[in-house]
A and B are shown apart, each in its own frame.
Chain A
Amino acid sequence: MTRRLLQALVLFVAASVFALVSAYWYYSVGRLDAQDALIPITSKILVIFLVVLLLRYLLVAFVAVLKHVQHASEPMAPSEYLPISIIFPAYNEGPVVESAILSAMRQNYPNFEVIVVDDGSTDDTYEKATRIAANFGPNQLRVITKPNGGKASALNTGIAQARGELILCTDADSRLDENALMRAAAHFYDPYVGAVAGNVKVANRLNHLTRLQALEYLEGLNLIRSAQGYFNRVTVIPGPLGLFRKEALLEVGAYEMDTFAEDCDLSLRLLLSGWDVKYESDAIVWTEAPESLSALVLQRYRWGRGVLQAIIKNRRFLFGGCPTAGTWLMFWFFVLDGIALPAMNVISIACFLFAAAGGSMSVLIPLWWAQLTLLDVMIAMLCIAAEGEQLSLILTAVSYRLFFIPFVDVLRCLTWFDELYDVKMKWMRLERFGRI
């Protein structure tokens, strides 16, 4: 009851702040002709982009709230405990592999096995995994080793060996919450559900950069997944926690190795084959986020190119052939959200810089930033209340809009050029610190 009241209060305060700021902003825009020194067309572009961004944010937040309300009536545990295989692909994950395996072994679920696939590691990953396996029987934990072939290849090897009807694909740098399996498996009473996406949270909130990513996971990635989950159309099942029906995985050919975002590609193929993909916010997994800017650039470069590759690969479904109109709409939303939104942010910054270079400092600039920052704060409050997260994350919303979003979006736009010009890319792995 207290939590419900808190959520209602947050919604009320957030809506009030938004209404007040919007009223003031529209009042200011009404004076643009007289006071604003920006070139008129630049002003118009900025106003259009701002309205689109605001509408998109509000729509996503509204549907996510609907999903949150719907979630209360969903089953907390499965009616039948289907056997589950948890697959850990591991390549040089020595510092983190032990805690990841042990977190899986502690699952509050009666019928599961764990398969660790060592993808030709050159460190002590295999030795550490086999040492833990000695404490469990082969029915509970198996360790497989193979020559290095990439994450998708390791996952496919694990899937081929899996005995479970459901398959949980995770990362060796992630720690599963003990109820993750129970909560995610509860959705498979529905025969149309092909997969369930979990809730990824940042474990290593040690510096400002990782706290920014914690906020991004909360109000960027998970909020969208939550909204998409309302329609059973999640477009990206996160690598650290995706529970799949084996039948669905085999039907679409499991993981393919032609993109750098194999999880995004697989999710799209499942959706476009007619399977439902749900989101479970209580299936929590903790992951290690990049702690330095160079590691963040590496991760985002891979994500940027990988998502574009997955879209290009499935582009024919943009113009027909989708199983349902809902899937078609969600695919278009995914494309616009992944391409148009970052492009709009970058064009907006270019407009500001263009205006500043011309010697004019518009009233629109601080209003633009204040409006979006307030919106970030509002949505952060909403997500924090819904997920019982740290209140201090709200403070990071200021630099989130000023630095993090422009940085990530500029980077993403640059990766598109590399993809379009087919620049060679190698899968470079992130350094692990064993924070989980």
Chain B
Amino acid sequence: MEIELYSLLSTVIVFVFLFTVIFAIYCYIAFRVRQRASLRHSSINSPAPTALALEEPKFFKPLYPKQLK
């Protein structure tokens, strides 16, 4: 009886896991398809990168300064 209960629980959990994994892979593929379509679209309409670069503030950045303490 105890083993049957375990088997039943195991079956339910394994099926939920299986469903979740397949569903996650499906969502991932769907996302990649949307990304690809979006990238194709943006390559035509995106502004020139040099125009954006002019607007970026530049901060002085030393290469990882020495420990402060």
- The answer to whether A and B interact is yes
In the bound complex, CA of A324 to CA of B55 (Å): 37
**Contact between B14 and A402, CB atoms less than 8 A apart:** no
Q: Decide: A160 near B38, CB < 8 A? Known: A274-B68, A369-B13, A414-B25.
A: no
The SS class assigned to the A binding surface is helix
A93 to chain B, nearest CB (A): 19
Chain A interface bracket (under 10, 10 to 19, 20 to 34, 35 or more): 35 or more
In the bound complex, CA of A411 to CA of B22 (Å): 11
Q: Decide: A323 near B69, CB < 8 A? Known: A414-B28, A428-B38.
A: yes
**Contact between A366 and B35, CB atoms less than 8 A apart:** no
Chain A residue nearest to B29 in the complex (CB): A414
In the bound complex, residues from chain B placing their C-beta under 8 Å from that of A410 are 20-21, 24-25, 28
Q: Decide: A153 near B68, CB < 8 A? Known: A362-B10, A366-B6.
A: no
Task: State which of A153, A250, A273, A369 has its C-beta within 8 Å of the C-beta of B64.
Answer: A273
**Contact between A426 and B52, CB atoms less than 8 A apart:** no
**Contact between B14 and A252, CB atoms less than 8 A apart:** no
Q: Decide: A353 near B67, CB < 8 A? Known: A147-B47, A363-B6.
A: no
Q: Does A361 sit within 8 A of B, measured CB to CB? A: yes
Binary B-proximity of A351-388 (CB < 8 A = 1, otherwise 0): 01100100001110110010000000000000000000
**Contact between B25 and A406, CB atoms less than 8 A apart:** no
**Contact between B11 and A361, CB atoms less than 8 A apart:** yes
Q: Does A73 sit within 8 A of B, measured CB to CB? A: no
Task: State which of A159, A272, A274, A407 has its C-beta within 8 Å of the C-beta of B69.
Answer: A274
In the bound complex, CA of A362 to CA of B67 (Å): 52
Task: State which of A148, A402, A414 has its C-beta within 8 Å of the C-beta of B16.
Answer: A402
In the bound complex, residues from chain A placing their C-beta under 8 Å from that of B69 are 192, 274, 323-324
**Contact between A294 and B59, CB atoms less than 8 A apart:** no
Binary B-proximity of A109-143 (CB < 8 A = 1, otherwise 0): 00000000000000000000000000000000000
In the bound complex, CA of A426 to CA of B6 (Å): 46
**Contact between B13 and A352, CB atoms less than 8 A apart:** yes
B3 to chain A, nearest CB (A): 7
Task: State which of B31, B56, B64 has its C-beta within 8 Å of the C-beta of A156.
Answer: B56
Binary A-proximity of B32-45 (CB < 8 A = 1, otherwise 0): 10110011001000
Q: Which of B3, B24, B38 has the most CB of A within 10 A?
A: B24
In the bound complex, CA of A298 to CA of B28 (Å): 9
Task: State which of B13, B42, B61 has its C-beta within 8 Å of the C-beta of A402.
Answer: B13
Q: Decide: A275 near B68, CB < 8 A? Known: A253-B59, A428-B35.
A: yes
In the bound complex, residues from chain B placing their C-beta under 8 Å from that of A252 are 61
Chain B residue nearest to A272 in the complex (CB): B64
By a beta-carbon cutoff of 8 Å, the part of chain B in contact with chain A is 3, 6-7, 9-11, 13-14, 16-18, 20-21, 23-25, 27-28, 30-32, 34-35, 38-39, 42, 47, 51-52, 55-57, 59-62, 64-69
5 chain-A/chain-B pairs, Cβ below 8 angstroms:
A147-B47, A353-B17, A353-B18, A365-B6, A428-B35
Nearest first, the 4 closest Cβ-Cβ pairs linking A and B are A253-B61, A160-B57, A361-B10, A366-B9
